Amino acid sequence: MSDKVCVIFGAGTEFPDKITFPDCERLVIAADGGLNKLNGLGISPDRVIGDLDSLDKAPESGNFTLLPHIKDTTDTFEAVQIGINEGCDVFHIYGGTGGRLDHTLANIQLAAQLSQNGRKAFVYGRNYIITAVTDGALALPVRDSGYVSVFAHSDECTGVTISGLFYEVSDVSLKNDFALGVSNEFIGKDAEISVRKGTLVVYYETGE
């Protein structure tokens, strides 16, 4: 795996107040209307991709790929494929939440799919992050307060262990038809969520 990071801006309506770009080799992609947000930040993307349903017109400059309006994938999914082809293994997705709920759900599934293929994805909301972990462990930032929720994306996730949060569990199973892991809390400790087999979707508040 490489250390190259892909930063994608989508056309969603939720963005953190503060957006920090990773200090490493990175590829910045605008997925359709995400170009408007990047323009507002004064940042020129390396690539622009989309079907122009949330962007008024094709950009006059830059590396633009026009997608067909009738297709089986989202613009964000196609942006991720560019990142994978360019050797990226970590994906930071902004503008992937808010607005249309179906696109938010699609991006959660996308984060899970990336996790299942040995990659990492972080989908940023206004004051929260959604990510996924498969057959492994996820370390969370140390925070004094804020909610953390854990969902089974697989039919069943076994060997789930949560430490350093208000509710701690060891070697339990979670199923995707019952939201047992909702509304855990940060308590100012090093926290970790791990799963022996399966894919977990993790939501946590950033406090920003």
3-state secondary structure 68-82: CCCCCCCHHHHHHHH
> Rounded distance, CA 200 to CA 208, Å?
24
For residues 79 and 8, is the Cβ–Cβ distance under 8 A? Answer: yes
Cβ count near 172 (within 10 Å): 13
Q: Are 106 and 130 in contact (CB under 8 A)?
A: no
Res 61: pLDDT? 67
Q: What is the pLDDT of residue 24?
A: 86
pLDDT value of position 137: 98
Q: Is the pLDDT of residue 12 over 90?
A: yes
pLDDT tier for residue 65 given thresholds of 50, 70 and 90? confident
pLDDT at site 16: 94
Mean pLDDT of 44-53: 90
Give helix 101-116 / helix 75-85 axis angle, nearest 10°: 20
Task: Name the band, by pLDDT with cuts 50, 70 and 90, for residue 3.
Answer: confident
What's the CATH class of domain 134-205? Answer: mainly beta
Whether the predicted model's global pTM rises above the 0.85 cut? yes
φ/ψ of residue 150, rounded to 5: -125, 125
Give the type of residue at 78. Answer: E
Distance of alpha carbon 82 from alpha carbon 76, whole angstroms: 10
Say how many Å lie between the first and final Cα of the chain, rounded. 31
Rounded-to-integer distance, Cα 153 and Cα 1, Å: 24
CA dist 28 and 95 (Å) reads 13
Contact status, residue 29 vs residue 47, Cβ threshold 8 Å: yes
Q: How does pLDDT run across 67-94, given as a tens digit for each residue? A: 888 889 999 999 999 999 999 999 999 9
pLDDT at 198: 98
CATH architecture classification, 5-126:
3-Layer(aba) Sandwich (3.40)
Query: Tell me: the pLDDT tens digits for 120-172?
Result: 999 999 999 999 999 999 999 999 999 999 999 999 999 999 999 999 999 99
| Structural domain boundaries in the chain | 5-126, 134-205
